[in-house]
Amino acid sequence: MSIGPDIDEVLDEIGTSFTIKRDSGDVAGGYLDITPNTQVTKPFIREFFLEVMLSYETTIVPGEVLELDTSGERFLMMNLTPSFFENQVIYYDGVIYKCNVSGELLRPSGEADWDSPTYRRAENWETIKSDCYAILVPPEFGGEIETEEDIGILEIERQALYLPTSLGVQVLDRYVASSGEFYRVEAVKTRRYPGVDLVIVGEDTR
């Protein structure tokens, strides 16, 4: 007999309830237990990159956003690893990244308007995803180069943006943060994490 249900009972007692945020509608996710990483000395990593234990019956998959019911904090599920006992899954270990930005993911529509006072071309945009939660971090945490030099003078700061693969983000897409920043997608790393794309973005002045 599997001990998965016994572990579920413990999670119900000591864990934190969460909701899976889906376009088709929110789904109750059950309970998870968060384990702070005591091996990490950098406060940023301890705050944003967390390890969790979830039920053997969990329906969440990597790339989905979950919300803790008590705090309202949102996290991106990065990976799930099953733990086996007597050839049966008894729980899942996982890693979640804390979402520190929300906004919209936009794509050039292929059409443009001309602003008559300035005669400048104004790009039209179509919305790929509104209410788009993500993790925006310095490239050092994404393993990328922090700046790009242009003719040895101009430095363009880059950021690493983690987004669900299901969004189908493309180069030249625009991410508009709710705080007002505009970012242009410069590169998409699609094979580093299951269900999650590592997106390199820079300032968008279009």
Domain ranges of the chain: 4-98, 101-203
Q: What is the pLDDT of residue 63?
A: 97
Taking the C-alpha atoms of residue 47 and residue 37, their distance in angstroms, rounded to an integer, is 9
Count the alpha carbons within 13 Å of 167 in the hemisphere toward its beta carbon: 32
Taking the C-alpha atoms of residue 94 and residue 140, their distance in angstroms, rounded to an integer, is 22
Alpha helices in the chain (DSSP H): 4-14, 43-48, 139-142
In this structure, are residues 11 and 30 in contact, taking their beta carbons and an 8 Å threshold?
Answer: yes
Q: What is the pLDDT of residue 145?
A: 36
- Convert the pLDDT of each residue in 169-192 to its tens digit: 999 999 999 999 999 999 999 988
Taking the C-alpha atoms of residue 104 and residue 98, their distance in angstroms, rounded to an integer, is 18
Q: What is the pLDDT of residue 64?
A: 97
Range 101-203 classified under CATH 2.40.10.270: yes
In this structure, are residues 158 and 201 in contact, taking their beta carbons and an 8 Å threshold?
Answer: yes
Q: What is the pLDDT of residue 43?
A: 80
Q: What is the pLDDT of residue 99?
A: 97
Taking the C-alpha atoms of residue 162 and residue 158, their distance in angstroms, rounded to an integer, is 13
Query: Residue 8 to residues 31, 91, 97, 129, 172: CA-CA distances in angstroms?
Result: 8, 8, 23, 34, 44
In this structure, are residues 1 and 46 in contact, taking their beta carbons and an 8 Å threshold?
Answer: no
Decide whether 4-98 matches 101-203 in CATH topology: yes
Regions of the chain short of the pLDDT cut 50: 143-156
In this structure, are residues 139 and 145 in contact, taking their beta carbons and an 8 Å threshold?
Answer: yes
Instruction: Name the pTM for this structure.
Output: 0.84
Range 4-98 classified under CATH 3.40.50: no
